[in-house]
Amino acid sequence: MHPAITRTLEVVQHRNHSEPVFLQAVQEVLETLSPVIEEHPEIEEQNLLERLCEPERQIIFRVPWRDDKGNIQVNRGFRTQFNSVLGPYKGGLRFHPTVNMGVIKFLAFEQIFKNSLTGLNIGGGKGGADFDPKGKSDEEVMRFCQAFMNELFRHVSYKRDVPAGDIGVGAREIGYLFGQYKKLTNSFELGVITGKGASWGGSLGRTEATGYGTVYFAEEMMKVKSDSLQGKTCVISGSGNVALYALQKLQELGANVVACSDSSGVIYDPKGLDFDALRMIKEVERERIGKYTDVHGSATFRPDAKVWDIECDAAFPCATQNELDAGDARKLVKNGCRLVCEGANMPCTPEAIEIFRGSEVNFAPGKAANAGGVAVSGLEMQQNAGLEHWSFEQVDKELHKIMRGIHESCLRYAEQYHRRGDYVSGANIGGFLRVAEAMICQGLI
Ligand SMILES: NC(=O)C1=CN([C@@H]2O[C@H](COP(=O)(O)OP(=O)(O)OC[C@H]3O[C@@H](n4cnc5c(N)ncnc54)[C@H](O)[C@@H]3O)[C@@H](O)[C@H]2O)C=CC1
Ligand SMILES: O=C(O)CCC(=O)C(=O)O
């Protein structure tokens, strides 16, 4: 490893010792950058790595709100504005009880490189709260979103920082957040948030974008191996936004998706899952996944299981960070899986990735493969700025083009820096170079 990287990792570890997932994300990126630092001594001269690992700004705030029983609840809100050299901070909001500063920082750090890879002018940021939407009424979710925006509105705008959804934040929450922003600022500022409803400034295709984009990326990976997704047996973890639309696109391309999950367990049907039934249960009714077996008697529900135990050709981790560990990776390899494409952010542990890289598995990291969501958010900002509304077909065509472009960049940078076929190195190097060049051009700020 280049000494500048070792030094930076020491500093970052010292400064952030209580944030393991942030350290994991930083290490995973920096470890692949040695050949770039060797070729560009100005990166070390300008102490660029240390600057890159320190967020430009972090905001932590109290979110007091009233539940349906009249009790006052308090949550903690976060927004990390990590890097803005390529454009306004851009990244989702996560509402989940496990959210803390380290989680938001790791997600914002990943977002810098992901957003860079899209080729759009968007910087890296992320936010959220340790609020658990599970079991809350619509009214409670609305009051929470309003309370969250009561502070966040000071820090966001179409030219400063543009949030969107992530775990626990979908169309319903984006609506409440936008409504409160509008009320507080007395302005209909379309570009302040993405993932909006299509009738009030949202982009068609944003709901589907992350899942579809992940599958478009996987399709490109298969093409490189002179293969396709047609007829492949696939498993997907999660059953939220990313998982559902990955499932839909995989089926459209002729793959057989036999399993998916939520935090209560796995549903499995060797004949393939029914997208419409699953979407109804998870997206509309917000029920637990076990309910699927009421609709489809041929499916089985395995409580507390993981989808990685099931034999498959391709696996799509689409739920959450570190959900696929070394043991899971070994099982997938042993069972003949040949492609792992990350729809979630950092779902595979470093040990699991090492196992994939040392095997026949073709592995794609989330910061490249799941960039379709933020890319279409960028297209939503573009439509808002031009007061335009594109058709679904136009958005989908652009998304497909962007995903092919990211895939091509990953392979090109991997090749250029002597890591042929290594998507992890290609994504990190490609994402990093664009940010590094902009940081150098914009001076010591
Ligand atoms: N929504 C988006 O546009 C994007 C999301 N992502 C990432 O994709 C992942 C999923 O996000 P969304 O689908 O938006 O969230 P979501 O809230 O719609 O769905 C999350 C799903 O994961 C499941 N889940 C959570 N923990 C689990 C566990 N331990 N085991 C099994 N299932 C579990 C939940 O039950 C839920 O079905 C996250 O890592 C997120 O950061 C990445 C890029 C864009
Ligand atoms: O659409 C966006 O702005 C952000 C999506 C996101 O949070 C992600 O890519 O992880």
* Beta bridge partner(s), residue 91: 163
Structural domain spans, the chain:
1-54, 56-189, 208-369
Maximum distance among all alpha carbons in the chain?
64
Query: What integer pLDDT is reported at residue 304 of this predicted model?
Result: 87
Going by C-beta distance under 8 Å and a sequence separation of 6 or more, which residues neighbour residue 283?
A: 170, 241, 244
CA of 235 to the centre of ligand 2 (A): 23
Output the known binding site: 90, 111, 114, 165, 210, 241, 377
Output the known binding site for substrate: 90, 111, 114, 165, 377
User: H or E segment at 392?
Assistant: helix 392-416
Residue 427: which of 400, 394, 395, 405 has the closest Cα? 405
Q: Which of the residues are catalytic?
A: 126
Query: What integer pLDDT is reported at residue 55 of this predicted model?
Result: 98
Query: What integer pLDDT is reported at residue 332 of this predicted model?
Result: 98
Which one-letter amino acid corresponds to residue 92? G
> Which residue's alpha carbon is nearest to atom 1 within ligand 2?
374
Ligand 2 atom index nearest CA of 195: 1
171 backbone dihedrals φ, ψ, rounded to 5°: -55, -40
CA of 195 to the centre of ligand 1 (A): 15
CB 134 within 8 A of CB 205: no
Hey, what are 44's tokens?
């070390």
Given ligand 2 and candidates 345, 374, 381, which is best to mutate, with the most ligand atoms within 8 Å of its CB? 374
Ligand 1 atom index nearest CA of 371: 43
pLDDT per 10-residue tile (average), the chain, 445 residues: 96 98 98 97 97 98 98 98 98 98 98 98 98 96 98 98 98 98 97 98 98 98 98 98 98 98 97 97 95 95 96 98 98 98 98 97 98 98 97 98 98 97 98 98 95
175 C-beta closer than 6 A to ligand 1: no
Output the known binding site for NAD(+): 210, 241
> Which residue's alpha carbon is nearest to atom 38 within ligand 1?
344
CA of 124 to the centre of ligand 2 (A): 9
Hey, what are 67's tokens?
């539940």
**Placement of tokens 């560009």 in the chain:** 40
Q: Architecture of domain 208-369 in CATH?
A: 3-Layer(aba) Sandwich (3.40)
Q: In whole angstroms, what is the distance from residue 194 CA to residue 423 CA?
A: 28
Given ligand 2 and candidates 84, 161, 210, which is best to mutate, with the most ligand atoms within 8 Å of its CB? 210
CB 398 within 8 A of CB 386: no
166 C-beta closer than 6 A to ligand 2: yes
381 C-beta closer than 6 A to ligand 2: no
324 C-beta closer than 6 A to ligand 1: no
377 C-beta closer than 6 A to ligand 2: yes
Evaluate whether the domain defined by 56-189 bears CATH number 3.40.50.10860: yes
Strand 314-317 relative to strand 256-262, pairing: unpaired
Buried-state track 108-137, b at ≥16 Cβ within 10 A, e below 16: bbbbbbbbbbbbbbbbbbbbbbbbebeebe
Ligand 1 atom index nearest CA of 373: 3
Q: In whole angstroms, what is the distance from residue 264 CA to residue 303 CA?
A: 6
Domains 56-189 and 208-369 share a fold: yes
CA of 8 to the centre of ligand 1 (A): 31
Hey, what are 47's tokens?
């102490």
128 C-beta closer than 6 A to ligand 2: no
Which one-letter amino acid corresponds to residue 236? I
Which one-letter amino acid corresponds to residue 431? G
CA of 209 to the centre of ligand 1 (A): 14
127 C-beta closer than 6 A to ligand 2: no
* Neighbouring C-beta atoms of residue 392, cutoff 10 Å: 12
355 C-beta closer than 6 A to ligand 1: no
ipTM higher than threshold 0.90:
yes
3-class SS of residue 86: coil
Of the chain, the end-to-end C-alpha distance in Å amounts to 28
